[in-house]
């Protein structure tokens, strides 16, 4: 498929994706703050999944395969369709922020991303909205900008982090990296909303000045990568061997090949999302902790 044909195809796919993302969000809103069937994917009653997750995922999977039966699909709650006849894989998180959702906190999202030969090229994220009863859909496709319900959005632009602006900087990440002079004490107002998809939508629209994640799954970030980059920002991830951070281009296997749905399930990395200068400043002022320091922090956390 040449670039012109691909762009036309992505335009059609974006319109379709916006529609199904909003409908999946409607499924979640319909059951929000109502009795739910809850199961746990971990033995210690953590990592919950609800019947709302499953309804949302089933709807998305069936809608996509009806419209694009040759495409691949990978979703958090188990839907997986490997396709040998198509370069497209839809990567879905039907409810990101399940703990928030269970507790009645309206901070959650539906994430619908599309990869073309491993490259994120389309992303839609639904979030509840204080101004719309049916929520908002943040959407973008490669080379066309980013939008919230059709209105253009952009990342917060600054050369360095600003005090008083919201930042997502998790404790788990702080345990892996020291903050150099120039960042320490001025990383911003820390928040932990509890939904990667929601946080990436807020980063793309400039509400969050930058967001850091330690090791989210591919379905958490696939849509947000396109949103943030098309909103004028960047998605940075660490190069192997501690050789700094690089702008993300595409998902690959360790051998550099395009991963299938099964391979994508194993893909995890740290990330820094935000305006280009801001994200570069942050990563330039991070220093990986030594192995001994990491062991000591894990020991201290375990016993104190």
With cut-offs at 50, 70 and 90, classify the pLDDT of residue 6.
Answer: confident
pTM value is 0.91
Domain boundaries, the chain: 3-152, 166-292
Express each pLDDT in 277-297 by its tens digit. 999 999 999 988 765 444 544
Q: What percent of the chain has pLDDT over 70?
A: 92
| Residue 301 pLDDT greater than 60, yes or no | no
Average pLDDT of span 168-185: 87
Q: Which residue has the higher pLDDT, 203 or 267?
A: 203
The tokens for 195 are 């939904």
Give the pLDDT score at 175. Answer: 82
To the question of domain 3-152 being in CATH 3.40.50.300, the answer is no
Q: What is the mean pLDDT of residues 261-271?
A: 89
Count of beta carbons in the 10 Å neighbourhood of residue 104: 9
Domain 166-292's class? alpha beta
Residues 55, 141, 118: CA angle, nearest 5 degrees: 80
For residues 169 and 188, the answer to whether their CB atoms sit within 8 Å is yes
pLDDT at 43: 62
């Amino acid at each position: 498929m040449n670039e012109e044909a691909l762009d036309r195809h992505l335009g059609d796919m974006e319109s379709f994706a916006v529609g199904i993302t909003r409908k999946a969000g409607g499924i979640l809103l319909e059951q929000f703050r109502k009795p739910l069937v809850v199961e746990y994917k971990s033995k210690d009653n953590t990592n919950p999944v609800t019947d709302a997750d499953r309804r949302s995922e089933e709807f998305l999977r069936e809608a996509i395969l009806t419209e694009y039966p040759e495409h691949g699909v990978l979703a958090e709650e188990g839907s997986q369709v490997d396709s040998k006849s198509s370069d497209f894989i839809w990567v879905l998180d039907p409810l990101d922020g399940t703990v928030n959702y269970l507790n009645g906190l309206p901070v959650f999202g539906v994430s619908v991303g599309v990869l073309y030969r491993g490259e994120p090229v389309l992303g839609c994220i639904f979030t509840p909205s204080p101004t719309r009863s049916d929520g908002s859909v943040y959407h973008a496709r490669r080379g066309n900008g980013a939008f919230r319900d059709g209105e253009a959005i952009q990342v917060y632009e600054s050369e360095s982090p600003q005090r008083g602006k919201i930042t997502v900087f998790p404790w788990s990440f702080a345990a892996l990296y020291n903050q150099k002079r120039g960042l320490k004490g001025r990383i911003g107002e820390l928040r932990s909303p509890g939904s990667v998809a929601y946080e990436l939508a807020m980063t793309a629209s400039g509400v969050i000045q930058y967001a850091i994640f330690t090791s989210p799954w591919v379905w958490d970030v696939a849509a947000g990568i396109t949103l943030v980059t098309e909103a004028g920002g960047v998605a940075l991830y660490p190069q192997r061997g501690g050789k700094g951070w690089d702008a993300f281009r595409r998902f690959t296997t360790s051998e550099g090949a395009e991963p299938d749905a099964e391979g994508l399930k194993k893909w995890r990395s740290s990330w820094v999302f935000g305006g280009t200068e801001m994200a570069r400043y942050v990563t330039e002022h991070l220093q990986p902790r030594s192995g001994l320091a990491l062991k000591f922090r894990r020991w201290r956390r375990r016993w104190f």
